[in-house]
A and B are shown apart, each in its own frame.
Chain A
Amino acid sequence: MNQSISRGDCEPLKTYVTDALAEARRLGASGAEANVSVGQGLSVNVRLGEVETVEHTRDQGLAVTVFFGQRSGSASTSDLSPSALRDCVRAAASIARYTAADDCAGLADPTELATEFPDLDLYHPWNPGVERSIEMARECEAAARATDARITNSEGASLNTHEHLEVYGNSHGFLGSAAMTRHSMSCAVIGQDDSGMQREYWYSVARDPANLEPAAAIGRQAARRTVGRLGARKLSTRKTPVIFEAPVASSLLSHFVGAIRGTSLYRRASFLLDHLGKPVFAPHVRIHEQPFLPKGLGSSTFDGDGVAPRERDLVRGGILEGYVLDVYAARKLGLKTTGNAGGVHNLMIDPGPDGLTALLRQMHTGLLVTDLIGFGINNVTGDYSRGAAGFWVENGEIGDPVEEITIAGNLRDMYRGIVAVGNDTDTRGNIRSGSILIDHMTLAGD
């Protein structure tokens, strides 16, 4: 059957979870957990003023993990009919016959489960309809194309609206639910001059449509960023200070999270092994997690284990104060879960007093990175090497656009080499950062 969403009401979903848990119990499982989610949305894309795609999305699924003592098995299904649900739990139980007993396997300790569920203001359904969505996307793209004569082509503008309901329950009697919405508008345009073509984009995303940037502002920003890249040149190879502009700076924190995740630590696959209580960042850096931020894109009252996340500092005074752990990894490490099954919740690096302009002056001469490509990060050694594009900065002023260069270093040095963090925090993601100035990296080019 198709489960439809009605005013953010999770109650009808709870039955699927309790049915799955009951089936697990019937099969003799000593413990079980189940998660069910349904989502629906509309996505329209307009290109060169004409409708390109109208997509109606609608997803549902149930995932279950069963425990027979210390052995476990998992299964999932997109079919929520009673027979499919039974088959799904049986498949999980069948797998558990072959997996090895694992001392650390099992549900969260009952005392660790979340007990308070404050309203985090995450549910703001918005159904503008196809026609109105098309109008807004048109307005966004038209603003981009009107910004500069060098905008000659377009990949279009999109409006996406989405709502999502989720219920998690386990055999300790925990049953938690969450209803959330996520709406976004984006625009990508092509600029062209004698030097060739460039593409850039801009987007806005929010739980509440009232918090989206105006359509025309998104379009204009996409156009400005595109035109700014025209005429980009290569640079010669050199050592240089680097500013990661806010939209790309958050990637540095993602790599940090990757290194302090429980799985990376117990597998010894991290460049930050045994660094708890030790300096990892420059002394002025504070990084904290805010799980209960109203309307936050990473906000949640319970994690994937049913455990309450905590407001906490991961880094204070440059010192690593905590890891990112779920129940399983915590047991492997002999530590307590930090409520991070499924990841971090609104991680933020404290902004400094100044904006990007002041950071550019402080750097004086160096590279401003606005775009990164590739996956050249070694999580075991911290070695970093990625393709970059941006601007060469001289005397604190943004100069020529540059491209076809790489920037390289080691994340351990880069984190300790953070000279300043801007106050231009990009709040569009689960990880929030202002622009970050790093003392030096190796730029490879001609």
Chain B
Amino acid sequence: MSQALDTARQTLLAPAGLGDRDLEALFGQLLAHRLDYADLYFQYSRHESWSLEEGQVKSGSYSVDQGVGVRAVSGEKTGFAYSDVILLPALTDAAMAARAIARHGASATAAVRWRPGPVLALYAPLDPLASLEDAAKVRLLEQVEAEARAADPRVTQVMASLSGVQDVMLVARSDGILAADVRPLVRLNVTVIVEANGRRETASHGGGGRVSYQQFLQNHSAREYAQAAVRQALVNLEADEAPAGTMKVVLGPGWPGILLHEAIGHGLEGDFNRKGTSAFSGRIGERVAARGVTVVDDGTLADRRGSLNVDDEGTPTQCTVLIEDGILKGYMQDTHNARLMGVAPTGNGRRESYAHLPLPRMTNTYMLPGRHDPQEIIASVDRGLYAVNFGGGQVDITNGKFVFSASEAYLIENGQVTRPVKGATLIGNGPDVLTRVSRVGNDLALDSGVGTCGKDGQSVPVGVGQPTLLIDGLTVGGTQQG
């Protein structure tokens, strides 16, 4: 019996006096209709955030969110209801509403016998909120401010925030699996504004993961993040207009891996491929990237923001190969789409909360390293863009067009990185952009733990990564022609 399962029972079921027999009785009511599958998702989530501006931590907030979601599946149909209250009468109401998706009659599984499902141990079941005294949280933010101010006199504003979440979940499934997870998540972020000669610029940096706040102290994150934000803002203060047109683009390691998330990640989620609405539908086994390009989605990395011991449907996460040496290998699946496509779930069933339905979602998506030295990659480019930091991105799944917006970029001229240019949006076509990857660096890096992915109005934390990459043609959306 896992510690997480004990904690989850204590946190989620015990206060309502709910025992295994009650859950069995609920499933008895659910399965009195012709269902293929049903699950209950219990969640208790505590969140805090502290924010600093103008040198002072002026505001802090704390929230508690709890509830239970009931899902009933019959063929391609899903009935769903949830309650903010974890009490038997509310649960019964929700179960009645959800099961109405199917007619009365015997389900395949008649009686449920509980057994704990396999769960990984990628992070400690700790409570980040309790990992540091409140006064020390305030001091950490004050230190971020001091580091940013000390970094350069042109810094005029510093905004910093610290947030922590402890999320306790338990999923009970009609196949008898009971799985639970206690998920910590912390994040420290800093945004600076710099001013000189009548020009102003801004930049942000941050990081975090499924760890305690202590990690920020041990890693001297306050200094690292503050200096990174100030450095980037000062670079942009000097930036010229970005070029416009299609050119060679070198992407730096780490966070620029948002390329993979947008260009191919979403398009390889099981729901779009079951429905045939993705530009990648039906293309398993085909070449979608250059030789030497291997991309995985890996939910099993220790302490990472996108990692999960078990997904929100009780499936342990795994490392799923999406593209191997340029060939499309597989999709990311939740249980619903996997069942309908006749394949195995891949531990990618995720939901924002009990009040949302699970969907196939990414975890940590990254490209494996190649053999090229990053300096040699830059030196190989006559004229192009070197983009090392990015803001958000977006994709149109169906036609495959994707964008991601550079927030720190430079011109490459005659094999040398020369002038900084302003941020610009890069646009490309997912199914063929990776076929134009002509060099893969040996410097794989993962992002610092800041990614949040949105789909169907649901946000979940994710990670990305890649080595330095050369793409032979990508459209850069600046203003400078020629």
Contact = CB atoms under 8 A, between A and B. Distances in A.
A35 to B, nearest CB: 13
Contacts of B355: 57, 59
Contacts of B78: 52-54
B425 interface: yes
Interface in A366-407: 371, 373-376, 378-381, 383, 385-387, 389, 403-407
A55 to B, nearest CB: 5
Given A57-B355, A373-B396, A375-B392, A99 B403 contact: no
B101 A91 contact: no
Given A269-B157, A387-B425, A79 B277 contact: no
A239 B482 CA distance: 12
Contact of A79 (B84, B101, B429): B84
B62 A445 contact: no
Interface in A43-101: 47, 50-61, 63, 72-79, 84, 87-88, 91-92, 94-100
A221 to B, nearest CB: 18
A444 B156 CA distance: 34
Interface stretch (B114-122, B241-249, B320-328): B241-249
B394 A92 contact: no
Contacts of A95: 48, 60-62, 134
A155 B428 CA distance: 23
Nearest to B194: A380
B101 A54 contact: yes
Interface string B396-432: 1111011111000000000000000011110111000
A61 B63 CA distance: 10
A355 interface: no
Interface stretch (B18-26, B216-224, B368-376, B472-480): B472-480
Interface stretch (B6-14, B51-59, B165-173, B284-292): B51-59
Given A2-B90, A444-B245, A406 B427 contact: yes
Contacts of A2: 83-85, 90
A267 B157 contact: yes
Interface stretch (B146-154, B179-187, B195-203, B438-446): B195-203
B399 A403 contact: yes
Given A72-B59, A197-B279, A444 B478 contact: yes
Contact of B403 (A61, A78, A378, A386): A386
A47 B134 CA distance: 50
B80 A56 contact: yes
A365 interface: no
B58 A376 contact: no
Interface centre among B404, B425, B475 (most CB of A within 10 A): B425
B61 A73 contact: yes
Interface stretch (B64-72, B293-301, B311-319): B64-72
Contacts of A376: 391, 403, 405, 423-425, 477
Interface residues on A, range: 35 or more
A293 interface: no
A268 B193 contact: yes
Interface centre among A76, A190, A197, A268 (most CB of B within 10 A): A197
A177 B356 CA distance: 28
A55 B358 CA distance: 12
Contacts of A403: 399, 401
Interface of B: 48, 53, 56-67, 76-85, 90, 94, 97-98, 100-101, 134-135, 137-138, 156-157, 159, 193, 195, 200-202, 242, 244-246, 275-277, 279, 355, 357, 391-399, 401-405, 422-425, 427-429, 475-481
Interface centre among A75, A197, A238, A406 (most CB of B within 10 A): A406
A77 B64 contact: yes
B182 to A, nearest CB: 19
A385 B429 contact: no
A75 B61 contact: yes
A442 interface: yes
A155 B277 contact: yes
The dominant DSSP class at the A interface is strand
Contacts, number: 256
Interface centre among A72, A229, A404 (most CB of B within 10 A): A404
Nearest to A80: B84
A353 interface: no
A232 interface: yes
A92 B62 CA distance: 7
A190 B391 CA distance: 29
Contacts of B392: 374-375
Contacts of B193: 267-269, 380
Interface centre among B138, B399, B401 (most CB of A within 10 A): B399
B401 A404 contact: yes
Nearest to A446: B246
Nearest to B281: A197
Interface centre among B277, B422, B477, B478 (most CB of A within 10 A): B477
Given A1-B85, A378-B423, A404-B428, A198 B399 contact: yes
9 contacts: A47-B275, A51-B101, A52-B76, A77-B63, A78-B67, A100-B57, A197-B399, A374-B404, A389-B396
B459 to A, nearest CB: 14
A333 interface: no
Given A190-B398, A374-B403, A408-B478, A98 B134 contact: yes
Contact of A444 (B97, B138, B476): B476
Contacts of A385: 242, 405, 423-425, 477-479
B34 to A, nearest CB: 14
Given A78-B67, A98-B137, 13 more contacts: A59-B84, A79-B85, A99-B138, A190-B276, A199-B399, A237-B245, A267-B193, A373-B394, A373-B403, A385-B477, A387-B403, A406-B403, A445-B245
A98 B396 contact: no
B63 A76 contact: yes
A229 B398 CA distance: 12
A130 interface: yes
Nearest to A75: B62
Contacts of B396: 199, 371, 373, 389
Nearest to B354: A78
Nearest to A383: B422
Contacts of A53: 77-80, 357
Interface centre among A59, A105, A190, A381 (most CB of B within 10 A): A381
B83 to A, nearest CB: 6
Contacts of B403: 373-374, 376, 386-387, 406
A237 B357 CA distance: 42
Contacts of A371: 396
B477 A408 contact: yes
B76 to A, nearest CB: 6
